[in-house]
Amino acid sequence: MIFIEARMWESIQGGSVEKAVTIVFRRWDDRTADGLIRIPFYVTPDIEMSEKHMNSIIAGLGVLNAVSCVKFEPATPYDRNVIKIFKGVGCLASVGMQGDTQKMSLSDTCPGVGMVEHEAMHALGIWHEQSRPDRDDYVKILEENIIPGQETNFYKFSKDQVESFSSPYDFGSIMHYYSTTFSKNGERTIER
């Protein structure tokens, strides 16, 4: 689910039991003058040299700014907690604010705006749609087709670990894998 309602975001970020991820992570708590949650970021020079990467980053973060109660803004020298977007070996980001500098890796193989949105959602504290406790009601994970070592990307959380806020399962979510993601043989890893 790409749209983050203010009610849901407050629950994710607050100290209540109802939060999207109950593993330990610190919350993004800096606010803009109009009350949005401010997420400072900077892009390392290796990506800045790639117009393709910069356009994807600007567009992807712009989408999240437009549809949620967060505002990604260029970091200042005074920001303590920032997202560092760099050209790494894969497409990945830690889930939830990590403190100090949080890394978001975007390699040349990351396919554009959608991947930026996906990894930024992880940095906000959102897990994969197919990790929901009720996922088995909607999809089947075909473990025999998953690349060895990538099984953790298909982990199913318990109801005690995540909150889905009674939202319907969203096959079209930016946080849902494609049917062949991490396939070792071209066959499906997720089946409807």
Binding residues for Zn(2+): 118, 122, 128
Residue 70 in contact with residue 97, Cβ under 8 Å?
no
Q: Which residues are annotated as a binding site?
A: 118, 122, 128
Report the relative pairing of strands 190-191 and 82-86 from DSSP bridges.
Answer: unpaired
Active site amino acids: 119
* 8 A C-beta contact, residue 116 and residue 106: yes
> 10 — alpha (psi -120 to 50), left (phi > 0) or beta?
alpha
Q: Which helix (H) or strand (E) holds 176?
A: none
From edge to edge, which strands make up the β-sheet containing 101-105? 70-74, 37-43, 82-86, 101-105, 92-93
Cα dihedral value 170, 118, 65, 80, nearest 10: 130
**Backbone angle region of 133, left / alpha / beta, with phi > 0 → left and psi within -120 to 50 → alpha:** alpha
- E-strand ranges in the chain read 37-43, 70-74, 82-86, 92-93, 101-105, 140-141, 190-191
